[in-house]
Every structure is written in structure tokens, then in C-alpha cells.
């Protein structure tokens, strides 16, 4: 019976995305020097898994390309090759190439082999370059102390195998593993029983032993390939701590030097015996390295795929959902029973039942919403690489700090906020952080800091992008604004309004346009995109000290808190977040500018009035202003007063896309179905105010 593997391909690709994230973050950690030795093992394992999976699904380009990466990583983890910046950079580029290959595999299109071949050549170039390892063996080879190659030196493998407690319960058996190892060469096994508890305290199904194994090459089988050993441990690699290190001959060994006529394999055996103690001594650091593995594995597993059409949901969230549905069914059953035999005596019980139903529905709604919530780390994880690449390109020294990575927000919001975030971080890199010389001259640390901070506040998620760079130049911004005719020279703008100018279309203070930023075609788009998500972005800055962009986003796009308002026979919904206050109109406060535009004096400021019935061409209940109510809203940086016949209730509404079901309409962000089955339009304040400006009032106030 053949198995259709194609059904698992999507899973492989998703897992490979995670593997690539592990690869990338590991390589960046190695590059910054913050990683411990175990990071290279995690990086190697990620490449190894991708290669294995790609081979299974006949993705030969991916398997072949990853094989070369794996070879390079193998040399690095064995200490045969120094971890150089050059190698890391080529490996990072290789990760990009692998992502492209994965995308091609996902879309079932042939990959662009030009770039693949180019980067493959770079990888091979690094592989063929002289190794610069600091280990004694490699140095001796380099110095030409003898003519033997690294393979000739290899006498076998030293394997440290420490099963996790639960390993035996997974159906894996150590005896089987040792039998298979013994089929590769001469096995010498030493069991460590020190972790065995007292007999009465042991659980016979848990594993307590660990082993140090010498697998020596023999004449009949020749040198053992490391991959063959790894294959034996493949099924238990997540259930044990494992290190496989080469057992090497000491090239300074007198015995080895005096036995030139002995066949190589025998030489190995002799020398290994002569240096047995040395080999055992070498075990200590390996064991130390192995201890760090679980943490690494945990951090690797923490990263889950966010992109694409699927979502991984924690079982706790599913359990909560199932509980809620259970409660709902019970309530429904209770109400149904009541309905079968209803009398007015049961009216109180009916009320209670309906209240229970409402609670259940709300809890169910919240549980369902939580399923779509993902930690913002999915969005943040791209930034270490971005900062690494751009800081190299700009010769700047930048440290990236990320805070609140586990803060959750809706998957759709997260996908849409990615690009604006990238833009803001690139801006901080390019314009915010100064070059090291300038920073030193300003008495700052030469390493600049960019901090990404996410947290919940009210029903919103706040994301701050701060840098300790030069800050925004207030005078320069004002000068540019005057040059562009955005403000007059006489105008006395408050500081926040001046800084807000950076969000104006086509506004840039960059002296030179770079390929990173500075064309002035970004910040307005950033604000626009964020506003489309129902959020906002503000900037605070201090010249010479740094800049902070603060993004405020709704947690979800699926539901909003709205104020229902009535105009004629129509009901509209104004997002609560846009409403500043609602008030009765005092006609004395109304003025007309230039004979057409109406404004309302609210305390010390004048706000334009928007007659909703004019904008949407509906028959109003009244046109008399004193009979109307005024809802003061904020949108697109300004306030406005919206005239409505009446204020109805406030409630959470489920947003239905008008664009998907009908077409995009300016001033309307969506629609919802109310409790009585009627459809109500949800107003988009920015669009509505723009639309209102285009419409002259049909009549003046009465």
C-alpha cells in the first residue's frame, strides 16, 4: 500500500518555516557572540531536519542546497572550522534562499535557480577555504606537521547519550540502538548508573541511565560516517541529550609516528588506546554542552508558524472553547425545556435563563477570539535579522531590545501591522541612530539601542518603537513645512503638531535619500495603514535623546464596541473609540464660515459639523439643529461633530466586510446585523470626514 505523502507536504513546509526561524535566530546569536556553544547544535539540527524532510518529499533542490549548509555547519559544530562573520553572512543569505525555495515548493512552481546557484557557489567557496579552527588537531594539519588528512586522523566517534526520563515510554529501546551502533564498528560502552534512585523510589518505566560510547572504526567496515550514527538516533533526538564527537588520533603520538608501516585502521586503534584517557578527558566539555540542550530546544519550539492559512492553537484554548460550548448546550436545553411547558410563573426563570445565555454567548465569543490571538513575537522575530543586515550596511552599531514579545493580538492585525513596523524600525535605523563616531562625540555609547515594546492597555495593544538616537530636528521640520507651504511663517505651532508633520504625505527631512528610507513616501502610508486597522500612531521625541513611535491597535478586527445612532429610519454605528463626547446642541454656539461650512463652538475650539443625512442622502427625522444630538468624534487628526437624531444603545458588534459582500464605500468601514435582524453600517470616521468636506450643507440650521 502506498502512502500519499502530498497531504503532509504543507505540514513539512510549515515546520520548515519554524526551522528556518531557528536557523536565522541561531546564526544571528552566533554572529553577535551572545550564543553559547549549543546554539550551533540547534542550528545544525534545524538544517538537518529540513534536509531530511525535503528528501522525503522529493524536493531535491532544497535537500541538495541544505546539504551544503549542513556540511558547513557540521564543521563549525565539530570545531573543525571557526565561526567567522563571512560564514555566518553566507549562511544567513542561504536562509533567504531556502525561504524562496520553500515558497516555490508551496506554490508548486519551479524555483529560480540563478540565485540558488550563486549562493551555493558562495557556500562552497567558504567550505573550500582554509579552515581557521583553533583546535590542536586542525592547527597541526594546517602546519603540515604530517601529511595525513582529517579523515586519516579519525579513529571513530565518541558518543554521549543521555536519554530523557520518558524515552523508554515512547517505544524506543536503548538495546536496539546499541545493537545498531555495534553494526557500524567496534562498540565500547560505559554505562553511568549514578542517577539511579533508590530501588523503592524508582519508576521502572522511566530511564535513569546514561552512556559514554566509543564507536571505533574497524578494518572490515572502514570509517564510520557520522550521518549513519545520527540516523540511528534520529527517532530519539528529541528525547535525549546526545553529542557525537570525533575520536581523533593525536598526531604527536610517538606510537603512531613509529608505526608508519601499520595499516591506517590499525594505527587508529593503537593510537586511540594510547590516548584513551585524553579522549575520556574530552568528554567533560561535551557533557557540559549537552546540559544546555533542553533550554535551547524549548526556545526553538516556542516559535510557531504564524504566516499562511493555518494557525496553531494551544490545547488550553480549545479546551476552554469546548467548555463554553458545553455550557451553551446546557443553557439551550434548559430554555428549550422551559418553552415546552411555559407559564407566566416561569417568567423569572426565563429571564435568568436568557441572562445565562447571554453570558455563555459572550464567553464563547471571547474564547473564539482568543483562538485568533497570537503572541506578537511572530511579528517581532523578523527584526533581529533586519537590524543585523542594515546596521552592517550602514556601519552602525545597534542593539535591538524586544520587550513584551508574548503580548497577544489578532492574527489579521498582526499580519497587517508587519509592514508599518518594518518601516518604523528602518526609519529609526537610518535616521534615528547616529553613526558610532557621532555618538561618541555626543558623549553617548557608540552602540545605539532600538527597543520594541508591546503591551496591552485597555482594549488595545500598544507597540512602541524607541531609539536613543538623534531625535527629530524641530527647527528643520518647521523650516521644511514652511518651504512646502504646509504652514505659514507666522503660524505658532505647538511642538506635537510640528513633530506630527512627519506623517504628512511627501514630507522628509533626510538630507540624502537612501535605499533604506528618506524619500518621504513612508510615514504617511504608515499612519494610513495603521488607521485602516482602527489604530493610530503618535510620535514623541527629544532632540539628541531619541524618538518613540507609539502605535495603538485594536486587539481584533472582528468585533468592535460601537455606539448605535439613529438618523431618520436608519441606524448607524460609530466606533466608541472615535467618540470624544456626545451633547445636546446649543444653537448659540453654531457659526457659519464663508456662508456654507457650519462649525460648533465647543469650549475653546470650533469643530466642523457633519449632517449625516446629507452625507448619506437619507431622509432625517428632523433638520432642526436644536432637536438633534451632537456626537463629537475624532478622526484623521481632527475633531468633528456629527449630527444625529438620537443616540441608541452601546454594544459590541460583529463586523461584516462590506467590501467582500458588496463594494467599498467611502465613509463606511463595514456593516453588522443587529438583534432585530436589520443591517447597520459602521462608520469610518476618517473617510466620513473627508466625504463631508466634499459636500456642502444642503441647508443652514434653523
Partner 1 sequence: MSEFEEITEGRIIFNDTLDITMAASYFERFSQLLNEQKTITLNGENIERVDGAGLQLLAALFKSAEFLQINITWQGCSDTLKRSAELSGLTGSLAID
Kind plus residue range of the DSSP H or E element containing 321: helix 315-340
Count CB-CB contacts under 10 A for residue 86.
Answer: 11
CB closer to partner 1, 171 vs 675 = 171
Ramachandran class of 200: left when φ > 0, alpha when ψ lies in -120 to 50, beta otherwise: alpha
Cell (9 digits) for 452? 520594541
- Calpha distance 191→235 (Å, rounded): 21
Question: What are the phi and psi torsion angles at 335 (to 5°)?
Answer: -65, -40
Helix (H, G, I), strand (E, B) or coil at 343: coil
The answer to whether 624 and 635 are in contact (CB under 8 A) is no
Are the C-beta atoms of residues 51 and 104 closer than 8 Å to each other? no
For the four alpha carbons of 554, 556, 558 and 562, in that order, the dihedral sign comes to negative
Phi and psi (nearest 5°) for 342? Answer: -90, 140
Nearer to partner 1 by Cβ, of 176 and 302: the residue is 176
The three cell numbers locating residue 376 = 506578537
**Given the complex with partner 1, which of 201 and 663 has the nearer CB atom?**
201
**Minimum separation from the CB atom of position 158 to partner 1 (A):** 14
Least distance to partner 1 from the beta carbon of 236, Å? 11
- Give the nearest distance from C-beta 184 to partner 1 in angstroms: 13
For β-strands 448-457 and 398-403, DSSP reports them as parallel
In angstroms, what is the minimal distance from the CB of 462 to partner 1?
A: 53
Give the C-alpha distances (Å, rounded to integers) separating 449 from 28, 92, 403: 17, 22, 13
**CB nearer to partner 1: pick between 181 and 630:** 181
d(CA 345, CA 627): 43
Closer residue to partner 1, CB minimum distance, 175 or 344: 175
Q: How far is the CB of 85 from partner 1 (least distance, A)?
A: 43
- What's the count of helices (H) and strands (E) in the chain, helices before strands? 26, 22
Name the percent of the chain in helix, strand, coil, to the closest 5: 50, 20, 30
Measured from the Cβ of residue 45, the count of other Cβ atoms closer than 10 Å reads: 24
* Closest approach of partner 1 to the CB of residue 53, in Å: 28
Kindly tell me which of 202 and 698 has the beta carbon lying closer to partner 1: 202
Q: Nearer to partner 1 by C-beta: 237 or 538?
A: 237
CB closer to partner 1, 159 vs 450 = 159
Q: Could you tell me the CA-to-CA distances from 267 to 244, 260, 483 in Å, in that order?
A: 22, 8, 83
Q: At 519, give phi and psi (nearest 5°).
A: -90, -5
Contact 73, 44 (CB under 8 A): yes
Shortest distance, position 195 Cβ to partner 1, whole Å: 11
What minimum distance in Å lies between the beta carbon of 167 and partner 1? Answer: 8
**Residue with smaller CB distance to partner 1, 182 or 280:** 182
Bridge partner residues of 328 (DSSP): none
Query: CA-to-CA distance for 589 and 644, rounded, in angstroms?
Result: 17
3-state secondary structure of 152: helix
DSSP letter (8 states) at residue 578: G
Q: Whose Cβ is closer to partner 1: residue 175's or residue 594's?
A: 175
Name the DSSP class of 235. G
Q: In angstroms, give the least distance from the CB of 52 to partner 1.
A: 25
Nearest approach, Cβ of 239 to partner 1 (angstroms)? 12
How far apart CA 645 and CA 569 sit, in angstroms, is: 10
Closest CA to 615 of 568, 656, 671, 564: 568
- Closest to partner 1 by CB, 106 or 164: 164
User: Rounded distance, CA 453 to CA 550, Å?
Assistant: 9
Which of 240/463 has CB closer to partner 1? 240
Judged by the rule CB under 8 A, the positions of this chain that interact with partner 1 are: 168-169, 173-176, 178-179, 182, 187-191, 193, 196, 198-200, 202, 204-205, 207-209, 211, 213
CB of 69 to partner 1, least distance (A): 34
Question: Distance of CA 396 to CAs 515, 544, 614, Å?
Answer: 16, 17, 55
**Cell of residue 291, nine digits:** 546540559
**Residue 84 or residue 172: which is nearer to partner 1 going by CB?**
172
Which residues face 242 on adjacent strands? 161
Within a 10 A sphere around the Cβ of 388, how many other Cβ atoms? 20
Could you tell me the smallest distance in angstroms from the CB atom of residue 220 to partner 1? 18
**For residues 57 and 178, which CB has a smaller minimum distance to partner 1 in the complex?**
178
Residue 556 is placed in which grid cell? 481584533
Task: Tell me the sheet residues that pair with 410.
Answer: 373
Nearer to partner 1, 166 or 484 (CB): 166
Q: Single out the residue of 101, 16, 21, 3 nearest to residue 53, CA to CA.
A: 16
Spatial separation of the C-alpha atoms in residues 243 and 210, rounded to whole Å: 12
Shortest distance, position 166 Cβ to partner 1, whole Å: 12
CB of 221 to partner 1, least distance (A): 17
State the minimum distance, in angstroms, from the CB of residue 577 to partner 1: 60
In the complex, minimum distance from the CB of residue 191 to partner 1, in angstroms, rounded to a whole number: 4
- Cβ proximity to partner 1: between 168 and 470 the closer is 168
Shortest spacing between CB 656 and partner 1, in angstroms? 56
Let me know: does 682 contact 668? Beta carbons within 8 Å.
yes
CB 500 within 8 A of CB 539: yes
- Element holding 63 (H helix, E strand): helix 60-77
> Residue 187 or 357: which CB sits closer to partner 1?
187
Amino acid at each position: 500500500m502506498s502512502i500519499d505523502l502530498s497531504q503532509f507536504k504543507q505540514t513539512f513546509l510549515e515546520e520548515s518555516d519554524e526551522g528556518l526561524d531557528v536557523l536565522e535566530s541561531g546564526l544571528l546569536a552566533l554572529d553577535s557572540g551572545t550564543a553559547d556553544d549549543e546554539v550551533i547544535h540547534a542550528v545544525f539540527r534545524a538544517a538537518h531536519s529540513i534536509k531530511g524532510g525535503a528528501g522525503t518529499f522529493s524536493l531535491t533542490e532544497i535537500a541538495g542546497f541544505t546539504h551544503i549548509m549542513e556540511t558547513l555547519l557540521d564543521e563549525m559544530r565539530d570545531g573543525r572550522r571557526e565561526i567567522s562573520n563571512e560564514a555566518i553572512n553566507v549562511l544567513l543569505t542561504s536562509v533567504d534562499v531556502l525561504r524562496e525555495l520553500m515558497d516555490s515548493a508551496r506554490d508548486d512552481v519551479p524555483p529560480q535557480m540563478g540565485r540558488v546557484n550563486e549562493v551555493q557557489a558562495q557556500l562552497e567557496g567558504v567550505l573550500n577555504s582554509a579552515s581557521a579552527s583553533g583546535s590542536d588537531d586542525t592547527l597541526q594539519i594546517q602546519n603540515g606537521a604530517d601529511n595525513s588528512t582529517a579523515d586519516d586522523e579519525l579513529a571513530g566517534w565518541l558518543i554521549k547519550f543521555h536519554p530523557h526520563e520518558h524515552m523508554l515510554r515512547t517505544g524506543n529501546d536503548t538495546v536496539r540502538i546499541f545493537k545498531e551502533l555495534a553494526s557500524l564498528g567496534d562498540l565500547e560502552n560505559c554505562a553511568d548508573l549514578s542517577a539511579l534512585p533508590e530501588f523503592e523510589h524508582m519508576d521502572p518505566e522511566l530511564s535513569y541511565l546514561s552512556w559514554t560510547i566509543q564507536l571505533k572504526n574497524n578494518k572490515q567496515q572502514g570509517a564510520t560516517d557520522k550521518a549513519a550514527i545520527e540516523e540511528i538516533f534520529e527517532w530519539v533526538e528529541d528525547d535525549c541529550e546526545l553529542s557525537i564527537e570525533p575520536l581523533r588520533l593525536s598526531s604527536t603520538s610517538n606510537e603512531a609516528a613509529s608505526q608508519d608501516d601499520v595499516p591506517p585502521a590499525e594505527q587508529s586503534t593503537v593510537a586511540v588506546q594510547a590516548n584513551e584517557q585524553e579522549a575520556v578527558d574530552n568528554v567533560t566539555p561535551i557533557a557540559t554542552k549537552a546540559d544546555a540542550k533542553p533550554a535551547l530546544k524549548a526556545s526553538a519550539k516556542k516559535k510557531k508558524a504564524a504566516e499562511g492559512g493555518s494557525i496553531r492553537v494551544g490545547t488550553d484554548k480549545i479546551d476552554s472553547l469546548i467548555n463554553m460550548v458545553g455550557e451553551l448546550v446546557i443553557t439551550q436545553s434548559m430554555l428549550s425545556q422551559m418553552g415546552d411547558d411555559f407559564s407566566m410563573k416561569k417568567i423569572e426563570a426565563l429571564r435568568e435563563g436568557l441572562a445565562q445565555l447571554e453570558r455563555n454567548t459572550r464567553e464563547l465569543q471571547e474564547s473564539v477570539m482568543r483562538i485568533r490571538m497570537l503572541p506578537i513575537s511572530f511579528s517581532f522575530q523578523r527584526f533581529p535579522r533586519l537590524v543585523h543586515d542594515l546596521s552592517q550596511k550602514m556601519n552602525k552599531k545597534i542593539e535591538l531590545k524586544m520587550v513584551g514579545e508574548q503580548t497577544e493580538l489578532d492574527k489579521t492585525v498582526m499580519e497587517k501591522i508587519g509592514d508599518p513596523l518594518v518601516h518604523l524600525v528602518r526609519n529609526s535605523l537610518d535616521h534615528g541612530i547616529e553613526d558610532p563616531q557621532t555618538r561618541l562625540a555626543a558623549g553617548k555609547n557608540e552602540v545605539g539601542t532600538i527597543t520594541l515594546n508591546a503591551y496591552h492597555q485597555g482594549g488595545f495593544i500598544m507597540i512602541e518603537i524607541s531609539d536613543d538616537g538623534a531625535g527629530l530636528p524641530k527647527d528643520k521640520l518647521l523650516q521644511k513645512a514652511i518651504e512646502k507651504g504646509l504652514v505659514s511663517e507666522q503660524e505658532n505651532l505647538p511642538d506635537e503638531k510640528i513633530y506630527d508633520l512627519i506623517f504628512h504625505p511627501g514630507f522628509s527631512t533626510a538630507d540624502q535619500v537612501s535605499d533604506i528610507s528618506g524619500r518621504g513616501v513612508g510615514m504617511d502610508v504608515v499612519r494610513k495603514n495603521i488607521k485602516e486597522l482602527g489604530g493610530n500612531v503618535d510620535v514623541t521625541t527629544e532632540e539628541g535623546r531619541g524618538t518613540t513611535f507609539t502605535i495603538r491597535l485594536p486587539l481584533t478586527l472582528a468585533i468592535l464596541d460601537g455606539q448605535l445612532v439613529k438618523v431618520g429610519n436608519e441606524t448607524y454605528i460609530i466606533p466608541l473609540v472615535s467618540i470624544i463626547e456626545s451633547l445636546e446642541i446649543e444653537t448659540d454656539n453654531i457659526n457659519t464660515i464663508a456662508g456654507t461650512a457650519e462649525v460648533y463652538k465647543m469650549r475653546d475650539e470650533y469643530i466642523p459639523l457633519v449632517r449625516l443625512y446629507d452625507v448619506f442622502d437619507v431622509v432625517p427625522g428632523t433638520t432642526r439643529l436644536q432637536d438633534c444630538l451632537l456626537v463629537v468624534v475624532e478622526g484623521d487628526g481632527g475633531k468633528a461633530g456629527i449630527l444625529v437624531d438620537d443616540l441608541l444603545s452601546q454594544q459590541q458588534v460583529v463586523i461584516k466586510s462590506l467590501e467582500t459582500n458588496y463594494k467599498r464605500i467611502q465613509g463606511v468601514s463595514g456593516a453588522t446585523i443587529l438583534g432585530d435582524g436589520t443591517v447597520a453600517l459602521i462608520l469610518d470616521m476618517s473617510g466620513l470626514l473627508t466625504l463631508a468636506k466634499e459636500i456642502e450643507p444642503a441647508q443652514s440650521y434653523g
